[in-house]
Amino acid sequence: QVRLVESGGGVVQPGGSLRLSCAASGFTFSSYGLHWVRQAPGKGLEWVAFIPHDGSGEYYADFVKGRFTISRDNSKNTLYLKMDSLRTEDTAVHYCAKGDGGSGSPDYWGQGTLVTVSS
């Protein structure tokens, strides 16, 4: 079965950096695009970034452009999100999600990792 396990969350000061990881299993990792989606405490879901199956491009929401970098290592079945210049408003649970093979929309989700940006 598809399994996605995020890690790397924690508390960081404003302006700081953090790298999230998402370890995947149960499907052919190199065949699917992957997403990062976040959810601030008590708020709704926000799409953050997408990377195609072969890492041939990176696509971002406007609010993270230039600050976050999505990447993947198909040899390790792992997705990453490098977050720089963090702001208090980036505080959220960050989920990784597998993209559907057709439309690319998120289908399977991990349990999320909490990032808290606070001084």
Partner 1 sequence: QSALTQPASVSGSPGQSITISCTGTSSDVGGYNRVSWYQQHPGKAPKLMIYDVSKRPSGVSNRFSGSKSGNTASLTISGLQADDEADYYCCSYAGSRTYVFGTGTMVTVL
**47 or 74, CB closer to partner 1?**
47
Nearer to partner 1, 45 or 84 (CB): 45
One residue of 52, 53, 67, 69 binding partner 1 per CB under 8 A: 52
Among 46, 55, 74, 82, indicate the residue that binds partner 1 (CB under 8 A): 46
CB atoms < 10 A from the CB of 9, how many?
A: 17
CB 66 → partner 1: shortest distance, Å? 15
Burial, 20: exposed, middle or buried (Cβ in 10 Å; 0-12, 13-18, 19+)? Answer: buried
DSSP state of 37: E
Task: Tell which one of 1, 44, 75, 119 touches partner 1 (CB under 8 A).
Answer: 44
110 is a site residue for partner 1 (CB under 8 A): yes
Q: Which segments of the chain are extended strands (E)?
A: 3-7, 10-12, 18-25, 34-39, 45-51, 59-60, 68-73, 78-83, 92-99, 106-109, 113-117
Segment near partner 1 (CB under 8 A); pick from 7-15, 18-26, 46-54, 73-81: 46-54
